[in-house]
Structure 1
Amino acid sequence: MAEHPNGTFQVPLWRAIAIFRFASMAYVVAMVAINVTDYAHPIGAIPALTVIVGWSVAATYLYARPAWRGWPLLGTDLAVTLVLLLASPWVVGRTAIDHGIPSLAVAWEACPVLAWAVSGGRRRGAIAAVVVGAADVTVRPNLTPASNTGLMLMLLAGVAVGHVARLAAESEQRLQRAVELEAATRERERLARGIHDSVLQVLAMVQRRGAHLDGEAAELARLAGEQEAALRALVGGRAPRQRAGPEVDLRAILDGYASASVSIAAPATPVKLPATVAREIGAAVGAALDNVARHGGSDVRAWVLLEEEAGTVTVSVRDDGPGIPAGRLAQAAEEGRLGVAQSIRGRIADLGGSVEIISAPGEGTEVELRLRVTE
């Protein structure tokens, strides 16, 4: 399983590992105090206990910070445990271990297994358990049913804790999506109230008053009526963007933007996409070309390049205009002019794609729309 982010749902799991680490450390200290007289080299127990106590404190402090729960810390945690296990035959003695005296790590050796499981799920927990278990086997002259049971319990613990950690991460992601959806719904409702009391009323009035006129006034009234209906559907949430629907050739939509100042380059074969997806891409391209005409002037040329490769559709809109000064897009968004943020980025983001804008003053602008179209 891919490593998932450490979220608030995992905080109790990391706290439980910290408690287990200190509880198992206390058990190790007790076992050493009871059995030290039977050790082959009792003096070696002193540095071993120092490492166990010191690393327990350090690991608890380090794991408490999500940014540090990466491979360096996980690898060090595992390495410290392996060193203590491999030192047990010299400190404790193989004969003593064969007679049932525990190794230096005892239950403490499960700490890195649990940490790996929480950080990366079942697979990572199982890997750590196998590594620790293999080291534990090497220090034992003879395997007994009791030792085999302990190793199997450690493996099961790594898998079970990893599964719980994965469920916690997925639950947090679902909760985050639900919160974002609720916030978006509330914002939509707020905007709908404001639009209903202003823009929709004006569009309806224009449509009514121009319905009986002729010429351009009648056309304006018709367009106002269409925009009113579309805007009502949008703010009412009745027009979700979906990939379902009949397929159309994206080339045909983009060809509609060809002009004396706009060149279109597309593959020789059709680029079939669901109609709703193709229309949204076309609208985003249209918004990009509108920005070229608005900010570049009549002498600026633009090129639209359509590519399809390995299930990914890429549309690039490039111009030879004056370019976009650094920070201008963010400033425009703050001022409420959301042409790029909504008409371009918003449309493509809703489809699950990405937008990259490359520009520099005096060097033109390139807007790249990228969308994965195969599952």
Structure 2
Amino acid sequence: MVTKMSVEQPLWHALTGYRLLAVGYAITIYVWALDRFRHPVPGAVYLAVLTVWTLATLSQVSSARRCTKRFLAVDVTLAVGGILLSVYVDGAGAVNPTIPTIWVAGPVLAFALKGGWRWGAGASVLVGIANILEQGDVTRPTLHNVLLVCVASIGIGYVVEVVRASERTLAQALQIEAATRERERLARDIHDSVLQVLAMVQRRGTALGGEAAELGRMAGEQEVALRTLVSSGLVPAQGTAPAHEQEGPPSAEAARGGSGGRSRILAPVRRRPGRGAGAEDGGNGRTGRAGVTGSGDASGGPECDLRPLLSRHAGAGVTFVEPGAPVLLPEHAARELAAAVSAALDNVRQHAKGPAGGPAHAWISLEDEPDGVLVTVRDDGPGLSEGRLEAAEAEGRLGVALSIRGRMRELGGGAELLSVPGQGTEVELRLPKAAAGRSARS
């Protein structure tokens, strides 16, 4: 949950405090010099009205919404009236400050906070003219006070305008981020369900022939249209092709049209014992090793053991290695991590062939580390050719980008993929426990 905090609001609170202190200061100065005024009674009445007005309008200066134009007009009129009244009350000029003294800066600052530096400059000029009329001449102290109020109001008004523009930009960025995250979530769900079914119908229909082939062709067309719709706004769509045409190596043009994801191709290296591969996802596999770390947190919830969620994938073609103790994670985090593993296994089943030409064998390894959970999915398939992932993302095939990397990014973890052509692919999914803990606490 994001709590909105206005940077402008503390300035209004400061103005409220300033007005209270200023009216107290004006009363103190007036009482201290009471015997030197020529007509003290009108000045005392004015200060009484000023005190009541200040106390009664505290709520008006608590925010820009409450500070109306009518209030500002009355406020600055009261300030100018007090300055001009000082000519009559202090006819001999025995007391230098005007009756409201520093209180007159309050209305000017209110103008600046409400309407920006232009409003503040206008109000300060109006108060400055009143001060010059009260003095009867442009003296150095008067000019100094006028310029001081003018500079302060313009500076604060400009700061307020910058703050408001920054808050609007931040609000728009948060809306875009929320919309993008929701779009990615929907795209993952579509990829894990509808697109997989359409691709299966297309392959089976082509294999059966006859009317089934026509059904498969229609399913392929719908798959391409849906992938284009899902990928629009997420990656630059540069053309699509039916699924059966994308299983082979991509063209050089498609490889150059990648999405610019952070990945690199590893030169062939000696294969580590027991290290196999993850998988290629419908043209969305990752060539090379790419680390993606997100800052999002999984939503909170009760903890559950991750082992049963992964053990259901074990079978003739999948070997699952698990620790002896439960691996506890918040329920949502555990299910999303298991879904990412399922997406990696789908890639193995659909696109990876074993050394003997049959289906590739996959291994799932679950490790409960002190600071996080590591799940490794590897296979003994042929690996990924150079540029395959970039071309797949450009074609709108976002299995790895959304179903694997997107899920891990939102959980606060990361996904790393290692592939060497001819030596299989490996997917490492790492989720820090701190990220899962923060989400559970929230």
Specify the TM-score bucket, using the shorter chain as the normaliser: 0.5 to 0.7
Aligned residues: 231
Give the TM-score taking structure 2 as reference length: 0.49
CA displacement, residues 111-159 of structure 1 (integer Å, 9 cap, x when unaligned): 1110010111111110110111111211112332111100000000110
1:233 aligned partner, one-letter code: S
CA distance, structure 2, for counterparts of residue 207 and residue 178 of structure 1: 40
Structure 2 partner of 1:194: 189
- Give the RMSD, CA atoms, in angstroms: 2.4
Deviation at 1:211, TM superposition (A): 4.3
Partner of residue 43 from structure 1, selected from 41, 44, 54: 41
Structure 1 partner of 2:373: none
1:206 aligned partner, one-letter code: V
The aligned runs of 1:137-148 (5 Å cut-off) are 137-148=132-143
For structure 1, the residue ranges without an aligned partner over 5 or more in a row are 1-6, 241-375
CA distance, structure 1, for counterparts of residue 16 and residue 163 of structure 2: 18
CA distance, structure 1, for counterparts of residue 120 and residue 216 of structure 2: 71
For structure 2, the residue ranges without an aligned partner over 5 or more in a row are 238-442
Deviation at 1:227, TM superposition (A): 1.4
Corresponding residue SS for 2:57:
helix
Partner of residue 237 from structure 1, selected from 234, 238, 250: 234
Deviation at 1:10, TM superposition (A): 1.1
Deviation at 1:74, TM superposition (A): 1.5
Give the TM-score taking structure 1 as reference length: 0.57
Partner of residue 178 from structure 1, selected from 173, 176, 187: 173
CA displacement, residues 311-350 of structure 1 (integer Å, 9 cap, x when unaligned): xxxxxxxxxxxxxxxxxxxxxxxxxxxxxxxxxxxxxxxx
Select between 172-181 and 46-55 the one with higher mean Cα deviation: 172-181
CA distance, structure 2, for counterparts of residue 214 and residue 80 of structure 1: 91
Structure 2 partner of 1:72: 70
Deviation at 1:100, TM superposition (A): 5.2
Select between 14-23 and 168-177 the one with higher mean Cα deviation: 168-177
- Structure 1 residues 238, 104: closer, same or farther in 2, change over 3 A? same
Deviation at 1:90, TM superposition (A): 1.4
Partner of residue 55 from structure 1, selected from 53, 56, 79: 53
Partner of residue 30 from structure 2, selected from 26, 29, 32: 32
- Structure 1 residues 11, 65: closer, same or farther in 2, change over 3 A? closer
Structure 2 partner of 1:82: 80
Does the 8 A contact of 2:108 with 2:124 survive in 1?
yes
Deviation at 1:192, TM superposition (A): 2.2
The aligned runs of 1:154-173 (5 Å cut-off) are 154-173=149-168
The aligned runs of 1:1-375 (5 Å cut-off) are 8-93=6-91, 95-96=92-93, 101-211=96-206, 213=209, 217=215, 220-234=218-232, 237-239=234-236
Structure 1 partner of 2:293: none
Does the 8 A contact of 1:206 with 1:224 survive in 2?
no
Structure exhibiting the larger radius of gyration computed from Cα positions: 2
Name the % identity: 33
CA distance, structure 2, for counterparts of residue 218 and residue 197 of structure 1: 19
CA distance, structure 2, for counterparts of residue 122 and residue 88 of structure 1: 28
- Structure 1 residues 210, 143: closer, same or farther in 2, change over 3 A? same
The list of structure 1 runs, each at least 4 consecutive aligned residues, that deviate by more than 3 angstroms after superposition, is 209-219
- Structure 1 residues 204, 26: closer, same or farther in 2, change over 3 A? same
Structure having the larger proportion of residues in helix:
1
CA distance, structure 2, for counterparts of residue 134 and residue 66 of structure 1: 26
CA distance, structure 1, for counterparts of residue 35 and residue 118 of structure 2: 40
Does the 8 A contact of 1:203 with 1:227 survive in 2?
no
Does the 8 A contact of 2:118 with 2:157 survive in 1?
yes
CA distance, structure 2, for counterparts of residue 39 and residue 48 of structure 1: 14
Does the 8 A contact of 2:59 with 2:66 survive in 1?
no
Does the 8 A contact of 1:109 with 1:132 survive in 2?
yes
Structure with higher RCO (Cα < 8 A, 6+ apart): 2
1:106 aligned partner, one-letter code: T
